[in-house]
């Protein structure tokens, strides 16, 4: 996991990941160049560089991002959660942008999202169209991309999560931040880089109100174990 100045979900994510038997999280400071042989990179949530300019715009120039981009280009799994998603977009590893929420307010709330794609290494443990309860906490989560990019994402089935109501209906009323097509998470064409705004690490134990996020991490570990 990469730790940027201003990351604040790194320890929560470390805690969630460490709860799986046999998994050892490694914290990588943004100034380093050595990925220490990790099997997966997670860019955690937070306010890297205080969200100056735009969220993720400065973190994208952190020295370690050169290695993260190379790691992703080799096909290894890279997961960006919230601020991590913003960094992935700024780095060009995913297409589009996250702008200020529709209502120009920071939103910290429980949301429901539906799994629009299960044939990915991040979502293999979920059921198609399953409704998950996973919280969001962001000021810049309004996904935007030009029409041709949205069309491409739809055409290549790259939209992995969408905001929905409790029954799983993808309707405008269930869209917390104004994201186009209710997009909550997308994957690259190659299928190894996923970014999402909701926080699976904050929904990884029943006592947090939901453990629906847990299977996202489990799916990744299944994939890594299957590769060895
Ligand atoms: N929880 C987070 O990662 C916050 C995301 C981001 N910095 C925002 O407010 O948009």
CATH number for the domain harbouring residue 86: 3.40.50.880
Q: Which pLDDT score, from 0 to 100, does residue 4 have?
A: 97
Q: What is the mean pLDDT of residues 170-199?
A: 98
Q: Is the ipTM of this complex over 0.85?
A: yes
82 is catalytic: yes
Specify the pTM.
0.96
| Whether the CB of 83 sits within 6 Å of ligand 1 | yes
| Whether the CB of 137 sits within 6 Å of ligand 1 | yes
pLDDT at 228 over 80: no
Closest-CA residue to 201 (of 1, 44, 40, 39): 44
For the stretch 147-165, pLDDT in tens is 999 999 999 999 999 999 9
Tell how far the Cα of 140 is from the centroid of ligand 1, in angstroms.
Answer: 7
Tell how far the Cα of 226 is from the centroid of ligand 1, in angstroms.
Answer: 33
Q: Which pLDDT score, from 0 to 100, does residue 3 have?
A: 97
**Segments forming the whole domain that contains residue 179:** 2-227
Tell how far the Cα of 165 is from the centroid of ligand 1, in angstroms.
Answer: 22
Mutation probe of ligand 1 site: the residue of 5, 83, 106 with most atoms within 8 A of C-beta: 83
**Rounded Cα distance, 107 and 32, in Å:** 32
Tell how far the Cα of 197 is from the centroid of ligand 1, in angstroms.
Answer: 8
Q: Which atom of ligand 1 is nearest to the CA of 98?
A: 10
Q: How many domains does the chain have?
A: 1
Asked whether the beta carbons of 165 and 112 are under 8 A apart, the reply is: yes
32 is catalytic: no
């Amino acid at each position: 996991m990469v730790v940027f100045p201003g990351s604040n979900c790194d320890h929560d994510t470390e805690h969630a990941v460490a709860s799986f038997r046999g998994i050892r999280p490694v914290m990588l400071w943004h100034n380093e160049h050595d990925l220490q042989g990790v099997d997966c990179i997670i860019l955690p949530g937070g306010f890297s560089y205080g969200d100056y300019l735009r969220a993720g715009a400065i973190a994208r120039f952190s020295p370690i991002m050169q290695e993260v981009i190379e790691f992703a280009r080799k096909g290894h799994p890279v997961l960006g959660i919230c601020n991590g998603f913003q960094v992935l977009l700024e780095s060009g590893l995913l297409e589009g942008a996250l702008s200020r929420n529709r209502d120009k307010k920071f939103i910290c709330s429980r949301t429901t999202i539906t799994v629009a794609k299960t044939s990915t290494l991040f979502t293999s443990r979920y059921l198609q169209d399953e409704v998950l309860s996973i919280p969001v906490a962001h000021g810049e989560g309004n996904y935007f991309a030009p029409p041709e990019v949205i069309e491409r994402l739809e055409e290549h089935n790259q939209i992995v999560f969408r905001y929905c109501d409790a029954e799983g209906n993808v309707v405008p009323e269930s869209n917390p931040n104004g994201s186009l097509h209710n997009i909550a998470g997308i994957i690259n064409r190659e299928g190894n880089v996923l970014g999402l705004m909701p926080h699976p690490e904050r929904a990884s134990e029943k006592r947090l109100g939901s453990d629906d996020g847990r299977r996202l991490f489990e799916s990744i570990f299944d994939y890594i174990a299957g590769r060895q």
